[in-house]
Structure 1
């Protein structure tokens, strides 16, 4: 059964790891699909953070859009897939790294992770996507 707009947005706002898919424009290859942390508040845009020179960033820049899909299996089998255009790509700030890290990590581990990632992961960028097309379902208890 498809989710209501409110339910799908609330579900997408949960701290789930997404699968990001983008057409990388490479002949003979399927779309690039990778796990990624993301940030979303109902009614807003979605943002992800990635290395400026990554294959993922280059593919998103070329395609101008991407898809995120999140799912779970308990307490019911549920998923949300959302696709849309890139509306902004900007250099990431340390504050954004703290925000997204705090969404996924134990609070006691955030500072150490941010210090490490800010120093070791190279220049990062934030890519914002405006949700345009949604697919969602709750299949109930499996």
Structure 2
């Protein structure tokens, strides 16, 4: 059963790990780049991710000007949401954004140590903000 707009947006706002896909620009020689990512989203807003400034993912997103995310779950029902859209902004990451993202996925007591490690270890990062343009979502029910 298709999800309503409110259901799609509410599901995407939950802290799922997303599969990010972006055109690899390989001229048919390869499929798109698809990798797991943490993301942030609030209903009605834009989606943002954080990645290495010089990563393959960042370069491909910059070239394509768009990307898609897919999130899903199996319990209590099989549900998924896919969102695709255009890149609206790429800005240097801040420690505050890293903390916000880590707090979405990690237990509170682990956030500070993860942020300290990631800020020092992961190198320069960027925040890429995407405006959702196309949505697909369904709840298949329980099996």
Per the normalisation by structure 1, the TM-score is 0.99
Q: Deviations over 1:69-100 (max 9, x none)?
A: 00000000000000000000000000000000
Q: Deviations over 1:23-81 (max 9, x none)?
A: 01023010000000000000000000000000000000000000000000000000000
Q: Deviations over 1:2-22 (max 9, x none)?
A: 100000000000000000000
**1:124 maps to 2:122:** no
**1:18 maps to 2:15:** no
Shift of 1:140: 0.3
How many residue pairs get aligned? The number is 142
Q: Aligned runs of 1:23-42 on 2, under 5 Å?
A: 23-27=23-27, 28-42=29-43
Stretches of 4+ moved more than 6 A in 1?
A: none
State the match for 1:133 in structure 2: 134
Give the whole-Å Cα distance in 2 for the aligned partners of 1:120 and 1:46.
25
Give the whole-Å Cα distance in 1 for the aligned partners of 2:47 and 2:8.
13
Q: Deviations over 1:97-137 (max 9, x none)?
A: 00000000011000000000000000000000000000100
Give the whole-Å Cα distance in 2 for the aligned partners of 1:114 and 1:84.
28
Give the whole-Å Cα distance in 2 for the aligned partners of 1:13 and 1:25.
30
State the match for 2:100 in structure 1: 99
Per the normalisation by structure 2, the TM-score is 0.98
State the match for 1:75 in structure 2: 76
Give the whole-Å Cα distance in 2 for the aligned partners of 1:100 and 1:116.
14
Give the whole-Å Cα distance in 1 for the aligned partners of 2:132 and 2:94.
23
Matched position secondary structure for 2:132: coil
